[in-house]
Copies of this chain bind each other. A is one copy, B any other.
Amino acid sequence: MPEINEERFFIELTHEVIDSEAVVARLLRGEAGAVVTFDGVVRNNTKGRRTLYLEYEGYETMAVKEMRRIAERTVAEFPDLDRLAIVHRLGRLEITETSVLIVVTSPHRKTAFHACHYAIDRVKESVPIWKREFFEDGEVWVEGQTPPGF
């Protein structure tokens, strides 16, 4: 369910592989001099225990709304950024695959770095998505975060 809000945001929840380059190409235009990208990728271990794969599930309709709210807060916090994408994947993910992608374009790099860092921190604390980690000898729900104030 891709969405563009006044062409400034690109928000997507997908069950397919995330194509970072296509998302950057979609956002980038001549006004921006800096692009900062955060890719969250599936690690091969948690505290030394070997991970086989992860499964993500979401409260999908609310997750999209929450991603849009985060995009709006990020622009309010960093008004000189140009454009912003927040993309999250659901379903089974293999090691080194991208689960979440944040892209910020901006005339200047400092804003791009800070806005990208801000957005991923917010995504991790409030978008209603949960992951289960599968090991050789079992599985666990990964411990989560609570949005500030709730």
> Interface residues, chain A, CB within 8 Å of chain B?
20-21, 24, 28-45, 95-96, 107, 109-110, 112-113, 116-117, 120
Copy number in this complex? 2
* Cβ of A79 to closest chain B Cβ, rounded Å: 18
- A36-B38, A37-B37, A39-B37 as given contacts; A44 in contact with B20, CB under 8 Å: no
**B34 and A107 contact, CB distance less than 8 A:** no
CB neighbours (8 Å) of A39 from chain B are 24, 34-37
In the bound assembly, the distance between CA atoms of A96 and B95 in angstroms comes to 32
In the bound assembly, the distance between CA atoms of A124 and B90 in angstroms comes to 38
* Cβ of A146 to closest chain B Cβ, rounded Å: 19
CB neighbours (8 Å) of A117 from chain B are 109-110, 113
Given contacts A20-B21, A113-B116, 8 further A-B contacts (CB under 8 A): A28-B41, A33-B43, A34-B38, A34-B40, A36-B36, A36-B38, A38-B109, A113-B117
Q: Which of A30, A40, A95 has the most CB of B within 10 A?
A: A30
Across the interface, A30 reaches (CB within 8 A) one of B36, B38, B45, B109, namely B45
Closest chain B residue, CB of each to CB of A28 = B96
In the bound assembly, the distance between CA atoms of A116 and B33 in angstroms comes to 16
**Interchain Cβ contacts under 8 Å between A and B, 20 examples:** A20-B21, A20-B24, A21-B21, A24-B39, A30-B44, A30-B95, A30-B96, A34-B38, A34-B39, A34-B41, A35-B37, A35-B38, A36-B38, A37-B37, A38-B109, A40-B109, A109-B120, A110-B117, A113-B113, A113-B117
